[in-house]
Amino acid sequence: MNVFPHETASCFLSRTLRKLPLLAALLALPALAQFSVTLPQRERSVPLPETIRKNLEEYRWRFGPVRLDPLLNFNGPGYDNNVFATVEGNAVGDWTFQGSAGLNYLIPMGSKLYLTGKGTADYTWYLDLTGLRYLGGTGSGHLIGLFNRVRMDVGAELSERSDKVNQEIPVTWPLRTTQVTGVVDIDILQRLALYAGAGKVQVRYQSLDDPNFPGQFRGLDRDESGYRVGLKYAFREYFTIGPEFEFIETRYKEPPAGRDFNNTGYLVRLRYDQDRFFVELQGGLRTLERIDSLEGAQDEFMYRYFVSYFVNRNLELQALGWRRPIPSVTGASYYLETRNGGGIGVKLGSRTTLSGVAQLGSNSYPGFSDDVQDYSATLAFKVFRQTALTVGIQQTNYSSSDVARDRNIFSFRAGLKL
């Protein structure tokens, strides 16, 4: 879920669309990386103007100026051998299924303004763990302005669905998120632009009335808000770099007290976007400060990067990684999540793609850390245009300096996207 929305990702192994000049580079604004509801970048991003143009052409239903596109995604059936991410010997496995159905919409409002968003119904099902079954949905709306020297995006989203808590405890749990966001960028000179944005997110985990389920996550209920301002200089239409300042505050809504913290970042952002070679990275010094604690502020170098290189039209190599603070359920304010790894995608014929990702890293806490190994592989078969069948497996191993936290998680998923 993006605090700065519409960083739309291209499909694995697909080539990026033709780029607009400075406008395209400036509008590829990623989410505030340390917002806990924001996923790290795992794919090539497509600039917002290209996304709007592509959707105008490809949305399948048209009613006058209104464009609609149906959504139907099935993530499952699948099996998790450790649903609650507990230590070996206490693991509980179950069959599961997640489905989503709804509509994307795009409404031109003249030649410069667009209203876009989506509405979906989402359902999560477990075979034996019936208390984890959950029916929810998502609704969003964004007003997009693409003017000559000024671009802006203002939007809101409400979501109630089951999702992974985090990489500390990768348990699928019902939660409600509400977010309001805004971003604007302005051309100052031919090659120089100023951008700014702000966002607020409310995260609320649901309580399940079933004593058989270990772990309630109300301790992670929180409000997060922040802002960003930066400059970007375009050496070429595909290569931009510039300084960036971010400030984020996290305020917990449940005890224990003394966990609220601020995150201040002094960063550099770089983006290089060609068909065969793509790089996007953000890195710099972040100061983490607990508000009601006698502990001093913590200065850490943090980063996020994604690199993609097409060796040829059938082979893509990737490198990806991040280091960021994440709200924690251990009683501390946050833990530091570090991941580094690589991926490969191989096109097997005209319809089939095999991809894999391997990452190593750690979850670091005061006094101990968990070493994490994560491996995944996916086989995708394109049935027709936007319809694809997928089969995937994932293995995640946690090896902790506190041996009581050692655990292994294996999952299998079949899927269908229409």
Residue 139 domain flag: yes
Cα–Cα distances (Å) from 305 to 43, 235, 318, in that order, read 10, 20, 10
Q: What are phi and psi of 13, to 5 degrees?
A: 80, 0
Tokens standing for residue 133: 């079954």
- Whole-angstrom Cα distance, residue 376 to residue 411? 9
The torsion angle over the Cα atoms of residues 206, 208, 214 and 216, rounded to 10 degrees, is 30
Cα–Cα distances (Å) from 47 to 55, 86, 116, 229, 270, in that order, read 12, 40, 15, 18, 14
The pLDDT profile of the chain, 418 residues, written as one tens digit per residue, is 333 333 333 333 333 323 333 333 333 433 433 343 345 777 887 788 888 889 998 899 999 999 999 999 999 999 999 999 988 888 999 999 999 999 999 999 988 999 999 999 999 999 999 989 999 999 999 999 999 899 999 999 999 999 999 888 889 999 999 999 999 999 999 999 999 999 999 999 988 766 666 557 888 999 999 999 999 999 999 999 999 999 999 999 988 778 899 999 999 999 999 999 999 999 999 999 988 776 778 999 999 999 999 999 999 999 999 999 999 887 678 999 999 999 999 999 999 999 999 999 999 998 889 999 999 999 999 998 778 999 999 999 999 888 778 999 999 999 998 8
- Beta-bridged to residue 267, according to DSSP, are 244, 284
- Whole-angstrom Cα distance, residue 226 to residue 306? 23
Residue 2 domain flag: no
For residue 378, what is the domain's CATH number?
2.40.160
- Residues 359/389, Cβ–Cβ less than 8 Å: no
Dmax over CA atoms of the chain, in Å, equals 63
Residue 212 domain flag: yes
- Whole-angstrom Cα distance, residue 27 to residue 325? 25
Residue 3 domain flag: no
Residue 1 domain flag: no
Contacts 24+ apart (CB under 8 A), 360-365: 361/321, 361/337, 362/336, 362/337, 362/338, 363/167, 363/168, 363/335, 363/336, 363/337, 363/338, 363/398, 364/335, 364/336, 364/338, 365/328, 365/330, 365/332, 365/335
Domain of residue 200: give its range: 8-417
Residue 31 domain flag: yes
State how many domains the chain has.
1
